[in-house]
Amino acid sequence: MLRLFKQHQIRTVSDLSGIWQMNVNHVTGPAYVPSCWEQNPALRTYRGVGTYTKSFTLATEAPIRLVFKGVSHTASVYVDDQLVAEHYNGYTPFDVIVPHLAAGTHELRVTADNRFSEASALHVPNDYYSYGGITRPVALEVLHDVYIARLAFTPSHDASGWHATVAATLTNLTDQQQNGQLSFNLAEITHTVSLSIKAKATTTVTWQADYPTITPWTPEDPQLYALTANWAQGQPVDDLIERIGFRTVRMAGSKLLLNDTAIFLKGFNRHEAFGGFGCAVPLAAMVQDIQTLKDLGANALRTCHYPNDERFLDLCDENGLMVWEENHARGLSLAQMQNPHFDAQAAAGNEAMVTAHYNHPAIIIWGLLNECSDDTEAGAAKYAAQFAQLRALDQSRPLTAATCHHFTARCLALDDIVSTNLYTGWYQDCDTKARLDKELTWIYQETKGDQPVIISEFGASALRGNNDPLGHAKWSEERQADILADNLAVYLNDQRLCGVFVWQFADCRVTEEKWFERRPALNNNKGILDEYRRPKLAYLTVKQAYTTK
């Protein structure tokens, strides 16, 4: 399944999820797409290049569009042995148009490469795993002369009610001017414009409409609407359907406001990883994660440390979970940020994230550059550039960059919301309340004061099944529960904060390179569930705190 709703009634779309042929490190045979090759016992630790092939048939000659939701981490795409696309970053989608493909059967071949090298600035040995394979769905679309490339919806609200601003981007694939009608439809209002699109050109059309009495999207009642655009030239040619929600996000002093009402984010950090399936989390397991987050009393989720599978974001839209979606970067040192590919790969990733996920009402915050080099002059310049890029791409959502460089970070003033990762009780044995006071004093000095602040990570490691009812030693389930109880008792009762995110929802695999000494069983074990979603004692601790606040 590509999305949780149908995006086209007119355009012909085939979901290429299913069995492909693979050839990965001499292991050949059928493989399911999407999946990671690490799910194959023979490839559990393979890092390298793999090839996947599938054939498809076209009834008539047409331009086709191939959409890859995620190939990890570097992809090359071939149609009938011709290289048609290359892409870097396992967590961002990409597409390619192949014009004039003849009727008949064709071969699609994808190579995926998950090796670490200087060519990869963002996928590096890290406290999560960079898997290999076609890890998110693939779609084959049959296009005509003109297609609707994108619809971007921006809601706003004032004394007269709600307003919609919609931007539609259309591309003319032919070398002649094309004339036609573009119709928008949203919540019973339809609007049609006549358009001429120059040969081989792309054009963007904006439409605005008022909705005085529409029902807004809220966590309690996550109302969604279909936004449709149709392109006709005498007869229907193409369409695009997005699913949107009316809601606003803004800050007032230390408060974060959703639809002008102060909210407190009771959240989890969640890596996209599930037991033997790696980062290609099956849809049923995504649904289980949402059900679990609801059971825990959470209302928010951080997609640490990269953009997520859109099906999961669709589930967040439907279930009223507020999302902090984060760009792809974790703990990069200044030397890593000075990799010659860093700026371009990060900029491409930011653009892909915002462009692809702009319409999700659930996303209320964009995050960037978790725990990177914000304490150096050269690093700070890179922060400033990425903040500026994201602000240009989207003015409707606040930005934040979680820091761990306490008292030395230089970038707090760039944040709309300041986010800090604090591990009292685990990495730092000190009083949580006193430590928070010290942190906030510093944050207010660095900013204009009275700033929205989120504790973006706190937690403790526990090996599931390692119980120590008498001693509560570190690494026991009991000690993890104690630490989370202590932290939550302070943070949930502090009016200066607007949210907390437990580190982390579930255990996740990490790379052996650089991490084996700190991570028993090669997992980051700070989950309140293990990697198969079996709960630890801390599950009930967090549930108790989140459901009674």
Q: Which residues of the shown chain bind ligand ADA in the complex (CB under 6 A)? A: 127, 330, 370-371, 404, 421, 457, 503, 524, 526
Question: Residue 269 CB, nearest distance to ligand ADA (Å)?
Answer: 7
The answer to whether the beta carbons of residues 254 and 496 sit under 8 Å apart is yes
Which residue, 311 or 519, is less far from ligand ADA as judged by CB? 519
Token pair, residue 163, equals 């307003």
Question: Residue 306 CB, nearest distance to ligand ADA (Å)?
Answer: 11
Residues making up the chain, counted from first to last: 549
Question: Residue 459 CB, nearest distance to ligand ADA (Å)?
Answer: 7
Sign of dihedral through CA atoms 531, 134, 310, 515? Answer: positive
Phi, psi of 315 (to 5 degrees): -65, -40
Question: Residue 58 CB, nearest distance to ligand ADA (Å)?
Answer: 44
Burial class of 10 by CB neighbour count within 10 A (0 to 12, 13 to 18, 19+):
middle
Question: Residue 354 CB, nearest distance to ligand ADA (Å)?
Answer: 22
Question: Residue 536 CB, nearest distance to ligand ADA (Å)?
Answer: 15
Which residue, 9 or 428, is less far from ligand ADA as judged by CB? 428
312: left (phi over 0), alpha (psi -120 to 50) or beta: alpha
Which residue, 421 or 487, is less far from ligand ADA as judged by CB? 421
Cis peptide before 328 (omega within 30 of 0): no
**Can you tell me the distance from the alpha carbon of 509 to that of 521, in angstroms, rounded to the nearest whole number?**
8
- What contacts 519, CB < 8 A, 6 or more positions away? 127, 510, 525
Question: Residue 330 CB, nearest distance to ligand ADA (Å)?
Answer: 5
Residues 404-443 as b or e (16 or more Cβ within 10 Å = b)? bbbeebbbbebbbbbbbbbbbbbeeeeebeebbeebbebb
Question: Residue 383 CB, nearest distance to ligand ADA (Å)?
Answer: 16
Which residue, 328 or 330, is less far from ligand ADA as judged by CB? 330
Which residue, 85 or 365, is less far from ligand ADA as judged by CB? 365
**Can you tell me the distance from the alpha carbon of 458 to that of 383, in angstroms, rounded to the nearest whole number?**
23
Q: What is the DSSP letter of 27?
A: E
Question: Residue 126 CB, nearest distance to ligand ADA (Å)?
Answer: 8
Beta bridge partners of 509: 523
Which residue, 345 or 370, is less far from ligand ADA as judged by CB? 370
Which residue, 113 or 127, is less far from ligand ADA as judged by CB? 127
Which residue, 144 or 526, is less far from ligand ADA as judged by CB? 526
- What contacts 220, CB < 8 A, 6 or more positions away? 320
How, if at all, do strands 265-269 and 300-302 pair? parallel
Which residue, 113 or 371, is less far from ligand ADA as judged by CB? 371
The answer to whether the beta carbons of residues 169 and 149 sit under 8 Å apart is yes
Query: Which residue is nearest to ligand ADA, using beta carbons?
Result: 127
Which residue, 74 or 525, is less far from ligand ADA as judged by CB? 525
The answer to whether the beta carbons of residues 146 and 238 sit under 8 Å apart is yes
Say whether 289 sits in a helix, a strand or coil.
helix
Question: Residue 5 CB, nearest distance to ligand ADA (Å)?
Answer: 32
Question: Residue 195 CB, nearest distance to ligand ADA (Å)?
Answer: 47
The one-letter code for the residue type at 313 is L
CA distance to 27, 70, 110, 301, 319, per residue, from 304 (Å): 32, 16, 27, 9, 19
Which residue, 439 or 457, is less far from ligand ADA as judged by CB? 457
**Can you tell me the distance from the alpha carbon of 14 to that of 20, in angstroms, rounded to the nearest whole number?**
14
Beta bridge partners of 27: 24
